[in-house]
Amino acid sequence: MHVRFWGTRGSIASPGPDTVRYGGNTTCIEVRTNDDELIVFDGGTGIYRLGNELVKKLPKRTSVFVTHTHWDHIQGFPFFVPLFIPGQKVQFYGTFDPVYDKSLKEILARQMEYCYYPVRESELKASIEYTSLKDRQTVEVGGAKVTPVLMNHPVLNLGYLVEADGQRLFFTGDHEPLRNFYEPGTRDHDEYQEIIDIRSASIEDSIKEVDLVITDSMYTAEEYPGKIGWGHGSFQSCIELADRIDAGRIALTHHEPTRTDDQLDAIGKRIAVEYSHVGPELIIAKEGMVIDLG
């Protein structure tokens, strides 16, 4: 497998002179298996450039796995060129939203209503299918197996484990480490902590020893206390996760939109020193970067 980043930014696209090296497009990740099966994680603004690249040699099938439907992960779908081409098959995978009682199809189609976009979902020319997934429900895409894992975010968010070509990779989507909101010594602390420990162990046990983990590392340790509950990780929490699961490499992505290239360079140097003792190779994802898993 190899992985290519088409969007590495979180929350909102941030193009400009200060985001040239790491990129300004929101989340979109391409995974190619050795038999050329195409798997795509999320459809942020980065999927527009991916679509333009695919037109040069159109695949017969594109399998898109949506972690969740926050706007920065879906806003590029109306501009994904293969959706407009007859004969193309685009298979969307994601989860049902139990809070708003809407399917993935309903949510994605909504942003293509006339009040938002001039072409409706029903007018697209590709063959489009939608599959709603549940936690740990493995699906096969060609020779690859893709397993969703329920993560922690203000809306239901699925991370995805891909197993193909003798390698394993995991993408968290947006994920905040589970934490105990009760103070130690209070009545509910111990019971809630037990629940957290079980959930955290369940996630980590399912992704042990992946060759690559791609994580939402939006904040620094200093920024995180002011962002608790927003549903994102920090560089430090993500690196510690990768170390606990014995990952081969960790790619840190979903960069905070105001973070400049120079600031990300500085963070890269800092974590290289602070975490020189950990096992995983540390990578700060850049738009256009390709990681070959062999």
The whole-angstrom distance between residue 207's C-alpha and the CA centroid of its chain comes to 15
How many Cβ atoms are within 10 Å of 181's Cβ, its own excluded?
Answer: 11
Q: Edge-to-edge, what's the strand order for the sheet holding 61-65?
A: 127-132, 89-94, 61-65, 38-41, 28-32, 2-7, 290-292
Mean pLDDT, residues 219-229: 96
pLDDT given for residue 276 in this prediction: 95
pLDDT single digits (tens) 33-80: 999 999 999 999 999 999 999 999 988 899 999 999 999 999 999 999
pLDDT given for residue 141 in this prediction: 97
Q: Looking at the predicted structure, is the pLDDT value of residue 284 above 90?
A: yes
pLDDT given for residue 60 in this prediction: 85
Tokens 């298996």 label which residue?
33
Find out whether 242 and 278 touch, Cβ atoms under 8 Å.
Answer: yes
Q: Looking at the predicted structure, is the pLDDT value of residue 224 above 90?
A: yes
Amino acid letter, 42:
D
Mean pLDDT, residues 164-187: 95
Q: Looking at the predicted structure, is the pLDDT value of residue 273 above 90?
A: yes
Three-state DSSP class for residue 146:
strand
Under CATH, which number does the domain 2-292 receive?
Answer: 3.60.15.10
- Average pLDDT of every residue of the chain: 96
pLDDT given for residue 262 in this prediction: 98
- Reported as a pLDDT band with limits 50, 70 and 90, residue 102 is very high
Find out whether 127 and 59 touch, Cβ atoms under 8 Å.
Answer: no
Amino acid letter, 255:
H
What residues does 39 pair with on adjacent strands? 31, 63
The DSSP symbol for 216 reads E
| Residues contacting 45, CB < 8 A, separation 6+ | 7, 13, 25, 26, 28, 72, 75, 76, 79
Token pair, residue 200, equals: 């955290």
CA distance 18 to 24: 9
Mean pLDDT, residues 104-130: 96
Residue spans of the domains in the chain: they are 2-292
